[in-house]
Amino acid sequence: MGFTSICINEKKNEFLLQQGQVCNSLFYIDKGFCKSFFEIDGAIKNTAFYFENEIATNIKSFESGQRSDSNLIACEPLTVIIFDKDKLFQIAKESIEIETLGRNCIRSFAAKQEEFSNLYKLYSPQERFEYLEKNYPSIIQRVSLTQLSSFLGISRETLSRIRKRRFHK
């Protein structure tokens, strides 16, 4: 029987997944953080940040076997545990615990996507920023404003203005 998971150390700016590849892994973040991003017309658009004890992946590629349209890259020196899809499914058949674990990972990943997706429909840019401050402070604390702005769906300058408005209240 092969290894279920592999522990790997990555330097900053090393890729876990590149656009065009098929994502066959779930990446469990042990230390550091990473992000997924798109490059559109030369501009970097960050779509997610993943921190310690979270699962990073491109669920669409992982689920369908299609090529990934986004990248996963280390934002800091990173320690990740890589769960290979095939091996995960294989071992899941033999162990109900692994099966449950894997299913919970996907479910919580889905729940988080749903939560973040709703932010853009329900709240203004400023309210989205405040939501992160309250519920996901690690994003605010560890991600630079330049990188955070595209995640919030706004320009860097607007994010700067939002912070300014808040401090003057």
Partner DNA sequence: GTGATTTTGTGACAATTGATACAGTTAATA
Partner DNA sequence: TATTAACTGTATCAATTGTCACAAAATCAC
Q: Which CB atom, from 20 or from 42, has the smaller least distance to DNA?
A: 42
By CB under 8 A, which span of 4-12, 56-64, 139-147, 157-165 interacts with a copy of itself?
A: 56-64
Beta bridge partners of residue 43, listed in sequence order: 40
Q: Which CB atom, from 25 or from 149, has the smaller least distance to DNA?
A: 149
Question: Measured between alpha carbons, how far is 63 from 104 in angstroms, rounded to an integer?
Answer: 15
Among 126, 131, 136, 142, binds DNA (CB under 7 A): 126
Using rule CB under 8 A, residue 131 touches a copy of itself: no
Nearest alpha carbon to residue 82 among 12, 151, 160, 17: 17
- Which one-letter DSSP state was computed for residue 53? T
Using rule CB under 8 A, residue 67 touches a copy of itself: no
- Angle at CA of residue 21, ends 20 and 26, nearest 5°: 135
Q: Which residue ranges make up the site for DNA (CB under 7 A)?
A: 12, 124-126, 144-147, 153-158, 160-164
